[in-house]
Structure 1
Amino acid sequence: MHVFIAGGTGVLGQRMVPQLVARGHQVTATTRSTARLGELERLGADGVVMDGLDAASVGEAVGRARPDVIVHQMTAISRKADLKHMDRWFATTMRLRTEGTDHLLAAAQATGVPDFVAQSYSSWNGIREGGWVKTEEDPFDPVTGTTAEPVMAALRYLEAAVMRAGGTVLRYGWLYGPGATDELLELARKRMFPLVGRGTGYNSWVHVDDAATATVLAIEQRAKGVFNVVDDEPAPASAWLPALAGAAGEDARSECRSGSRVSSRGRWWPE
């Protein structure tokens, strides 16, 4: 197949390209920077510069490639994490999940691309009703009145648009692995990671390589619908945050164990 990855230099894009190439697929992958074209070529892809927020740029890139499937992996998450102001931290990513999704779907329709796969998220954002185990049928928590509210609204927009187009949505858990947790380690190292209440809120995780493999399988099997892509065992913050702090350093580990940095305003965190 000819696979078009929008966001090829992202954490997941970089793990997907080699897997697809190894399985015999042709890959066209996009970047916003000319300087990163060589990186994509070294991974085995045809690199293309594309602005996901520019409809003309997206239309031209897809029109030239004429792929069999478009994979929407576009994000723009700053390496400087801002957990207190998620709306600011994810500002450009929210636009890529709304405007960028519309541009890619329009280009797919104009070019006759039959399949579309998009990145979504399901680590801590399940509806706070019923049990804590959630399926693909369970909606997101709107987290009304928090800085995460517009972030969740953008995800709902993306999923609805992709489903209307007959595409596939992959709800990845919180990514970990090479390049995926650097900003979290930095927060833990600086003793700035908020621990809410007793840390009983659960998160679902997935390694970047597992997420990439699941995406490759969804492409090859032409899967349709919404799928949660997470590790088998979710974990409460009281378990994974000390482990993260331990990776960041002993001072951060002690801070997490003491519980001295308890946030009473982090309502976006499930508990």
Structure 2
Amino acid sequence: MRIVITGASGNVGTALLRALPAEHDVIGVVRRPPSAQGVYQRVDWRSLDLTDSDAISKLRNVFDGADVVVHLAWGFQPTHDVDYLNRLGVGGTSAVLQAAHTSGVGQLVHMSSVGTYAGGRYGKRVDESWRTTGIDTSPYSRDKSAAETILDEYEGRLGSAAIPIARMRPGFILQRAAASGLMRYGLPGYGPMQLVPWLPILPLDRKLCIPLVHADDVAAAIVLAVERRATGPFNLAAEPPMGRDDVAAVLGARAVHVPSGLLGALVNLTWRTRLQHVDRGWLDLAFSVPLLDCSRARTELEWAPKWTAQEALADLLEGIAQRAHTTSPSLRPRSLIDLLRRDLTEGLISSRRLP
């Protein structure tokens, strides 16, 4: 098959390239193509920014003759430019959908998230029928919800004339290869990432209970959805869910209860003063999203995660300790010298202009 993947060099995209059988013709759509090494060597790369005014026409040219489009592209930085993140996440999804429809692709696989779900069921499992109105205080969640609304309206408007769409709704996605990329988003740049797995204490609210999943298992679900021409939403999460004490056990740290409200105020203050890159919405998300009932994926896709949640977290932490990375620009290694140069010449990552 001819498979086009937006965001093919990111966390899930890299795992998907490992998982896709070699006989498929793979086209990757990214802003900054990686060097043709390792898993990225098999891909026909196309440089394209989904926020460009002519993105739809460019995407049509790429999608022409495609059997499947897998839409993974999403933005996480700069967190202080929520307008850009919305244009990329929501506007980019709209552009991909319009181009896929007019190009007549056989299937669209959309990467949604647990973040699309509404609150109100924290610590309890929900199936795919739960409300997808998101967590209002999280820009990421609002945009994931808005992207699914675009798909809902499209399917409701066109009915049987709509292209088949599968929606993946995974928990928080982890893997070793994404360690440097995830730390770039979540850790102040001048903090040595190798020390994270050696934290002696974990100051966190005891009520934490979140769904995690390994990127390889998400990629496996996408491959199954493509092979079976599946449609509709699919929850994806490893077992068991991760509580605060579970995270502390994997870290080998002592858990200390700090109320989420106090943590949220601290995160908000340090984010607003540009001391770190993570906005409060991510903490609100972690203490609001439900757990995931994955029965539909197990039944219809015959999907079974190979990684437990603890193993997925341990894999990431091992990658952090070893500064794991790839040649992808989004998963590149963290460099203190490069960070200092860019902070001085381009501004902080949370607000700088795109390269």
> CA–CA distance in 2 between the matches of 1:101 and 1:124?
14
Residue 144 of structure 2 is aligned with which of 146, 155, 165? 155
1:171 match: 169
- Tell me the secondary structure at the aligned position of residue 154 of structure 1: helix
Describe the superposition over 1:123-154 as per-residue Cα deviations: whole angstroms up to 9, x where unpaired.
7955314871111111246434x3x1x32221
> CA–CA distance in 2 between the matches of 1:108 and 1:205?
30
TM-score (norm 2): 0.61
- Tell me the secondary structure at the aligned position of residue 73 of structure 2: coil
1:103 match: 95
2:287 match: 270
Describe the superposition over 1:88-124 as per-residue Cα deviations: whole angstroms up to 9, x where unpaired.
3876444322100011011112211131111111179
- Tell me the secondary structure at the aligned position of residue 258 of structure 1: strand
1:197 aligns with 2:186: no
- What are the residue-to-residue correspondences of 1:34-49 with 2, within 5 Å? 34=33, 36-39=34-37, 42-49=40-47
Where relative contact order (Cα < 8 A, 6+ residues apart) is larger, the structure is 2
TM-score (norm 1): 0.77
C-alpha deviation, 1:10, in angstroms: 0.5
> CA–CA distance in 2 between the matches of 1:40 and 1:58?
30
Question: Any stretches of 5+ residues in structure 2 without a counterpart?
Answer: 156-163, 188-192, 265-282, 289-355
Residue pair 2:204, 2:257 contacting (<8 A) in 1 also: no
> CA–CA distance in 1 between the matches of 2:166 and 2:116?
21
2:106 match: 114
Describe the superposition over 1:40-99 as per-residue Cα deviations: whole angstroms up to 9, x where unpaired.
884411111111112523432442442111111002324x9xxxxxx5387644432210
Residue 239 of structure 1 is aligned with which of 221, 246, 256? 246
Residue 229 of structure 2 is aligned with which of 222, 229, 238? 222
Residue pair 1:125, 1:140 contacting (<8 A) in 2 also: yes
**Count of residue correspondences:** 248
C-alpha deviation, 1:178, in angstroms: 1.9
> CA–CA distance in 1 between the matches of 2:44 and 2:195?
38
Describe the superposition over 1:171-229 as per-residue Cα deviations: whole angstroms up to 9, x where unpaired.
111111123454268498397x985532x221111111111111111111111111101
1:28 match: 27
2:306 match: none
Change (3 A) 1:37 1:234: same
Taking only aligned residues, the RMSD between alpha carbons, in angstroms, comes to: 3.3
Describe the superposition over 1:226-269 as per-residue Cα deviations: whole angstroms up to 9, x where unpaired.
110111321212322x14544xxxxxx24xx2346865253613
> CA–CA distance in 1 between the matches of 2:204 and 2:256?
13
Residue pair 1:62, 1:107 contacting (<8 A) in 2 also: yes
1:258 match: 256
Change (3 A) 1:124 1:180: farther
> CA–CA distance in 2 between the matches of 1:261 and 1:188?
24
Residue pair 2:133, 2:142 contacting (<8 A) in 1 also: no
> CA–CA distance in 1 between the matches of 2:194 and 2:81?
14
My pick for the range that moved more, 91-100 or 37-46, is 37-46
2:128 match: 136
